[in-house]
Amino acid sequence: MSEICLKERRVYNKDIISALHDDLLLHILSLIPTKQSANTTLLSKRWRFLWTMVPKLDYTENDKDEKSIWDFLDKSMQLHKAPLLKSLRIQLGQKCPVDADVVKWISNAVDRCVRNLNLDFNFANNTSLPNSIYNCKTLVYLTLSHKILVDVPSPARLPSLQSLYLNSVVYKDQDSHVRLTYIDYRNEEGSGRSLVIDSPALRYLRIFDPSGDYRSIQKNTPHLDVALVDVVPSVGFHPNDKFRRSFFLRQASTFDLDRESWLEPLMLFLHNSPLLKVLKIDSYYYNDIAPLPWKEPSSVPRCLLSHLEIFEWNAYRGSSEENHFLAYILQTSGCLNKVGILPRFSYSNKEICLVRGE
């Protein structure tokens, strides 16, 4: 019995993890923050330099930490030796020194063919990014947040970019032409800037702006498949508003406008989306101020006649104009097979789901 226990103890004390292949260990280390990954150097000689080859780096500042993560970032990047970077995330808060030269490490990441770059700065003044970032051939995902000055040079070419996420950044000017395949634009603080999209390859567009200051011109997007639009302007609909007149969509969309003026731009939206298959309306935050007159358009949008398959409405109030509009959608949609209606005020708070034929 004692001999069996001794063998079990030896197996238990054996360092199985260190015996794993380097590729597997690097994958494991890439799943944790870089600061923790670097701490593995204390385990044994086997781990001493292993973290320097991890292809994913994550420098996220913790509010509980007394010091900024910048010092560690600056020193560790000097030691890091991976020739290629899959991902680099840098999140720096107010504890970061105002003279931190983070730009040099961003340039370093571009030189190492970074694929996923996530930058979130909340220190000092707005940080200008190196021009090389806007001409990075390997960049697939780019996320920029807060005190970052977006100054896109001309020309700018990001041939591999599929996802761009801009959150409360600052724009140097209003003439920004970016050629992308995926755009996710957010303006939470109301910069009042215009986003000009000239993207023949654009397939996914997301715009979020509850501030009321946003104006956008969207053009030259023949391959746009999906658009998620959450725009609540502080002023009503303008007949010359190029933003709402210029949408030309193919497949799916969420459309959200202010309660006082949602009908006319929505009809323009439908007329400009001949291949639209999914339409979602969310009127949860609309105000019950004045009745919205309903006037049936002279012509039925093409998408209703031959393409729209799914129609969803969140926070449906059941007002007279909403009833008329809903009836119009149901009567004119020749391909509609599913309708989901979620009332704004409901005791059961359950969705009403109608299938074609019911």
pLDDT at 209 over 60: no
Residue type, 62: N
H/E segment holding residue 270: helix 263-271
Q: What is the pLDDT of residues 218-277, one digit of tens each?
A: 445 555 666 665 544 433 444 444 344 444 455 545 454 444 456 666 777 788 778 788
Q: What is the pLDDT of residues 79-111, one digit of tens each?
A: 999 999 999 999 998 888 888 899 999 999 999
Contact partners, residue 39, CB within 8 Å, separation at least 6: none
Among 83-97, 101-115, 170-184, 335-349, name the one with the lowest average pLDDT: 170-184
Buried b (16+ CB within 10 A) or exposed e, 334-350: eebeebebbbbeeeeee
* Three-state SS at 86: coil
**Residue 349 vs residue 164, higher pLDDT:** 164
Q: Are 78 and 51 in contact (CB under 8 A)?
A: no
Count CB-CB contacts under 10 A for residue 277.
17
* pLDDT band (50, 70, 90) for residue 42: low
- Highest mean pLDDT range out of 168-182, 196-210, 217-231, 331-345? 331-345
Q: Are 304 and 310 in contact (CB under 8 A)?
A: no
Residue 185's beta-bridge partner residues?
166, 207
pLDDT at 256: 46
pLDDT at 154 over 80: no
